[in-house]
Amino acid sequence: MARMYHKGRMKSADIILTDPQNDEINQTVGELNGGLDQHNMPLDSIGRSKLQPGVKTVVAGPPAYESTVWPSQAYHIAEHSGAAGTLDVTQWQMGWNKFELGAGTDKNGFVLDFVSQEGMLKGEACVDFEHRQSYFLFAFHPTPEDPIVWQYGASIKDEHTGELGVFVNDVLVARTGPLWIACGRHSYVIPFSTPIGAAPCHVDVRWLIDFKNIKKTFSAGTIYESGVNQVYPIQFHHRTLWVRNQYR
Protein backbone atom coordinates (compact mmCIF):
# COMPACT_ATOMS: atom_id res chain seq x y z
CA MET A 1 0.00 0.00 0.00
CA ALA A 2 1.06 3.57 -0.59
CA ARG A 3 1.98 5.75 2.32
CA MET A 4 -0.35 8.72 2.76
CA TYR A 5 0.33 11.68 5.01
CA HIS A 6 -1.94 14.55 5.95
CA LYS A 7 -0.72 18.06 5.25
CA GLY A 8 -1.78 19.22 8.71
CA ARG A 9 -3.93 18.37 11.68
CA MET A 10 -7.58 18.98 10.94
CA LYS A 11 -9.70 20.84 13.46
CA SER A 12 -13.44 21.30 13.54
CA ALA A 13 -13.03 24.98 12.78
CA ASP A 14 -11.12 24.21 9.56
CA ILE A 15 -14.14 22.87 7.71
CA ILE A 16 -15.15 26.38 6.71
CA LEU A 17 -11.66 27.34 5.48
CA THR A 18 -10.66 26.59 1.91
CA ASP A 19 -6.89 26.23 2.32
CA PRO A 20 -6.72 23.25 4.75
CA GLN A 21 -9.37 21.37 2.77
CA ASN A 22 -7.73 22.03 -0.60
CA ASP A 23 -4.30 20.94 0.65
CA GLU A 24 -5.61 17.45 1.33
CA ILE A 25 -7.62 17.24 -1.90
CA ASN A 26 -4.71 18.48 -4.04
CA GLN A 27 -2.52 15.70 -2.69
CA THR A 28 -4.97 13.06 -3.94
CA VAL A 29 -5.54 14.82 -7.24
CA GLY A 30 -1.79 15.10 -7.72
CA GLU A 31 -1.46 11.33 -7.51
CA LEU A 32 -4.14 10.90 -10.16
CA ASN A 33 -2.19 13.29 -12.39
CA GLY A 34 0.97 11.21 -12.06
CA GLY A 35 2.61 13.02 -9.16
CA LEU A 36 4.03 9.94 -7.45
CA ASP A 37 7.08 9.91 -5.19
CA GLN A 38 8.51 7.88 -2.33
CA HIS A 39 5.72 8.98 0.01
CA ASN A 40 2.76 7.77 -2.04
CA MET A 41 4.08 4.88 -4.13
CA PRO A 42 3.78 1.30 -2.86
CA LEU A 43 6.94 0.02 -1.18
CA ASP A 44 9.19 -2.14 -3.38
CA SER A 45 7.02 -1.36 -6.41
CA ILE A 46 10.07 -0.52 -8.56
CA GLY A 47 13.18 -2.63 -8.29
CA ARG A 48 16.53 -2.56 -9.99
CA SER A 49 15.31 -5.09 -12.56
CA LYS A 50 12.78 -2.54 -13.87
CA LEU A 51 15.34 0.25 -14.39
CA GLN A 52 16.95 0.53 -17.81
CA PRO A 53 20.75 0.17 -17.56
CA GLY A 54 23.02 2.79 -19.03
CA VAL A 55 24.81 2.17 -22.30
CA LYS A 56 28.55 2.82 -21.93
CA THR A 57 30.78 3.65 -24.88
CA VAL A 58 34.58 3.91 -24.70
CA VAL A 59 36.34 5.90 -27.44
CA ALA A 60 40.05 5.14 -27.73
CA GLY A 61 40.79 8.46 -29.45
CA PRO A 62 42.70 10.62 -29.52
CA PRO A 63 40.98 12.31 -27.94
CA ALA A 64 39.90 9.50 -25.63
CA TYR A 65 36.70 9.70 -23.57
CA GLU A 66 33.85 7.65 -22.13
CA SER A 67 30.11 8.15 -22.56
CA THR A 68 27.25 6.58 -20.59
CA VAL A 69 23.70 7.17 -21.79
CA TRP A 70 20.57 6.73 -19.63
CA PRO A 71 16.90 7.34 -20.48
CA SER A 72 16.86 10.86 -18.98
CA GLN A 73 20.50 11.97 -19.07
CA ALA A 74 23.98 11.10 -20.31
CA TYR A 75 27.48 11.56 -18.91
CA HIS A 76 30.59 12.18 -21.02
CA ILE A 77 34.00 12.14 -19.33
CA ALA A 78 37.51 12.78 -20.68
CA GLU A 79 40.57 12.70 -18.45
CA HIS A 80 44.33 12.42 -18.60
CA SER A 81 46.91 11.83 -15.87
CA GLY A 82 50.08 11.06 -17.81
CA ALA A 83 53.17 13.12 -18.53
CA ALA A 84 52.92 16.89 -18.66
CA GLY A 85 52.27 18.62 -21.97
CA THR A 86 54.27 21.67 -23.03
CA LEU A 87 53.47 24.63 -25.27
CA ASP A 88 56.52 26.69 -26.17
CA VAL A 89 56.26 30.44 -26.73
CA THR A 90 56.58 29.83 -30.48
CA GLN A 91 53.19 28.07 -30.33
CA TRP A 92 51.38 30.91 -28.59
CA GLN A 93 48.83 32.98 -30.49
CA MET A 94 46.84 36.09 -29.70
CA GLY A 95 43.45 35.40 -28.15
CA TRP A 96 42.15 31.97 -27.21
CA ASN A 97 44.45 28.99 -27.84
CA LYS A 98 43.07 25.44 -28.10
CA PHE A 99 44.65 22.85 -25.83
CA GLU A 100 43.56 20.20 -28.32
CA LEU A 101 46.15 21.50 -30.79
CA GLY A 102 48.92 20.12 -28.57
CA ALA A 103 51.17 17.44 -30.01
CA GLY A 104 50.41 13.73 -29.71
CA THR A 105 47.79 12.70 -27.17
CA ASP A 106 48.01 15.91 -25.15
CA LYS A 107 44.45 16.70 -26.25
CA ASN A 108 43.13 13.94 -23.97
CA GLY A 109 41.15 15.47 -21.13
CA PHE A 110 40.50 18.69 -23.05
CA VAL A 111 37.99 17.55 -25.71
CA LEU A 112 34.60 15.82 -25.85
CA ASP A 113 32.76 14.90 -29.05
CA PHE A 114 29.27 13.43 -28.81
CA VAL A 115 25.75 13.76 -30.19
CA SER A 116 23.67 15.69 -27.67
CA GLN A 117 19.93 15.61 -27.09
CA GLU A 118 17.90 18.79 -26.63
CA GLY A 119 18.12 20.05 -23.08
CA MET A 120 21.00 21.31 -20.93
CA LEU A 121 24.71 20.67 -20.68
CA LYS A 122 26.23 20.94 -17.24
CA GLY A 123 29.78 20.05 -16.32
CA GLU A 124 33.24 21.08 -15.20
CA ALA A 125 36.71 21.43 -16.60
CA CYS A 126 39.49 20.70 -14.10
CA VAL A 127 43.01 21.65 -15.23
CA ASP A 128 46.38 21.40 -13.48
CA PHE A 129 48.06 24.40 -15.14
CA GLU A 130 51.61 25.70 -14.78
CA HIS A 131 53.51 28.79 -15.90
CA ARG A 132 56.71 29.96 -14.22
CA GLN A 133 58.13 33.47 -13.99
CA SER A 134 60.09 34.54 -17.05
CA TYR A 135 63.13 36.81 -16.92
CA PHE A 136 65.59 38.87 -18.96
CA LEU A 137 69.29 38.90 -18.02
CA PHE A 138 71.56 41.67 -19.33
CA ALA A 139 74.96 43.26 -18.83
CA PHE A 140 75.92 46.94 -18.97
CA HIS A 141 78.59 49.46 -18.01
CA PRO A 142 77.41 52.85 -16.79
CA THR A 143 79.67 55.09 -18.91
CA PRO A 144 81.32 54.78 -22.32
CA GLU A 145 84.61 55.85 -20.75
CA ASP A 146 84.83 52.61 -18.80
CA PRO A 147 83.92 49.76 -21.20
CA ILE A 148 85.88 47.16 -19.24
CA VAL A 149 83.87 47.04 -16.04
CA TRP A 150 80.53 45.36 -16.68
CA GLN A 151 77.62 45.20 -14.30
CA TYR A 152 74.78 42.71 -14.50
CA GLY A 153 71.06 43.04 -14.02
CA ALA A 154 67.82 41.13 -14.36
CA SER A 155 64.24 42.01 -15.25
CA ILE A 156 61.60 39.64 -13.88
CA LYS A 157 58.43 39.33 -15.99
CA ASP A 158 55.70 38.68 -13.47
CA GLU A 159 52.94 41.11 -14.44
CA HIS A 160 51.20 39.07 -17.13
CA THR A 161 47.82 37.41 -16.66
CA GLY A 162 45.98 34.55 -18.30
CA GLU A 163 42.58 32.87 -18.52
CA LEU A 164 41.06 29.44 -19.00
CA GLY A 165 37.73 28.95 -20.76
CA VAL A 166 35.29 26.26 -21.91
CA PHE A 167 33.79 26.36 -25.40
CA VAL A 168 30.76 24.44 -26.68
CA ASN A 169 30.61 24.33 -30.47
CA ASP A 170 33.06 27.28 -30.55
CA VAL A 171 30.88 29.38 -28.22
CA LEU A 172 32.43 30.53 -24.93
CA VAL A 173 30.21 29.28 -22.09
CA ALA A 174 32.50 29.68 -19.04
CA ARG A 175 35.77 31.41 -18.15
CA THR A 176 37.90 31.93 -15.09
CA GLY A 177 38.44 35.64 -15.63
CA PRO A 178 41.96 37.14 -15.52
CA LEU A 179 44.37 35.07 -13.41
CA TRP A 180 47.85 35.96 -12.24
CA ILE A 181 49.48 32.87 -13.72
CA ALA A 182 53.15 33.89 -13.44
CA CYS A 183 53.35 32.26 -10.04
CA GLY A 184 53.90 28.57 -10.70
CA ARG A 185 51.52 25.62 -10.73
CA HIS A 186 47.88 25.64 -9.68
CA SER A 187 44.69 23.68 -10.30
CA TYR A 188 41.62 25.41 -11.71
CA VAL A 189 37.99 24.25 -11.82
CA ILE A 190 35.61 25.84 -14.34
CA PRO A 191 31.91 24.92 -13.92
CA PHE A 192 29.61 25.60 -16.86
CA SER A 193 25.99 25.25 -17.93
CA THR A 194 24.38 25.96 -21.29
CA PRO A 195 21.28 24.97 -23.27
CA ILE A 196 21.88 22.65 -26.19
CA GLY A 197 19.95 21.25 -29.13
CA ALA A 198 19.89 17.79 -30.67
CA ALA A 199 23.06 17.91 -32.77
CA PRO A 200 26.74 16.91 -32.81
CA CYS A 201 28.45 18.63 -29.89
CA HIS A 202 32.12 19.60 -29.49
CA VAL A 203 33.32 20.72 -26.05
CA ASP A 204 36.90 21.89 -25.58
CA VAL A 205 39.09 23.85 -23.16
CA ARG A 206 41.21 26.83 -24.22
CA TRP A 207 43.64 29.32 -22.70
CA LEU A 208 44.91 32.81 -23.39
CA ILE A 209 47.75 34.88 -21.98
CA ASP A 210 48.37 38.61 -21.82
CA PHE A 211 52.14 38.38 -21.66
CA LYS A 212 54.04 41.55 -20.84
CA ASN A 213 57.35 40.87 -22.58
CA ILE A 214 59.19 43.91 -21.21
CA LYS A 215 62.95 43.53 -21.35
CA LYS A 216 64.45 46.67 -19.87
CA THR A 217 64.05 50.42 -19.99
CA PHE A 218 67.48 51.54 -21.12
CA SER A 219 69.08 54.61 -19.55
CA ALA A 220 70.63 57.32 -21.71
CA GLY A 221 74.42 57.21 -21.84
CA THR A 222 74.60 53.58 -20.72
CA ILE A 223 75.92 50.83 -22.98
CA TYR A 224 74.04 47.54 -22.73
CA GLU A 225 74.82 44.07 -23.94
CA SER A 226 71.79 41.94 -24.76
CA GLY A 227 71.54 38.85 -22.60
CA VAL A 228 69.20 35.92 -22.06
CA ASN A 229 65.49 36.50 -22.63
CA GLN A 230 63.91 33.44 -20.99
CA VAL A 231 60.17 33.01 -21.57
CA TYR A 232 58.93 29.88 -19.84
CA PRO A 233 56.49 27.62 -21.69
CA ILE A 234 52.94 26.77 -20.71
CA GLN A 235 52.65 23.35 -19.08
CA PHE A 236 49.55 21.34 -18.31
CA HIS A 237 49.41 18.20 -16.16
CA HIS A 238 46.39 16.25 -14.90
CA ARG A 239 43.02 17.33 -16.25
CA THR A 240 39.40 16.18 -16.41
CA LEU A 241 36.49 17.38 -18.55
CA TRP A 242 33.03 16.02 -17.83
CA VAL A 243 29.59 16.93 -19.15
CA ARG A 244 26.09 15.85 -18.16
CA ASN A 245 23.46 16.14 -20.89
CA GLN A 246 20.09 16.53 -19.18
CA TYR A 247 17.34 15.82 -21.69
CA ARG A 248 14.41 18.14 -22.08
The 10s digit of each residue's pLDDT in 128-177 is 988 888 877 777 776 665 666 777 777 777 778 889 999 999 999 999 98
In 10 A of CB 203, how many CB atoms? 27
C-alpha separations of 168 from 26, 123, 222 in Å? 43, 11, 53
Domain boundaries, the chain: 81-247
The 10s digit of each residue's pLDDT in 45-93 is 667 776 778 888 898 877 888 999 988 889 999 998 878 888 888 888 8
Percent of the chain residues topping a pLDDT of 90: 25
Q: Please name every residue paired with 194 in a beta bridge, in sequence order, or none if there are none.
A: 121
pLDDT band at 218; cut points 50, 70, 90: low
Which has the higher per-residue pLDDT, 111 or 51?
111
Of 144, 130, 134, nearest in space to 181 by CA: 130
Query: Which of 30-44, 163-177, 205-219, 232-246 is predicted least confidently?
Result: 30-44
Which has the higher per-residue pLDDT, 3 or 115?
115
The mean pLDDT value of the chain amounts to: 79
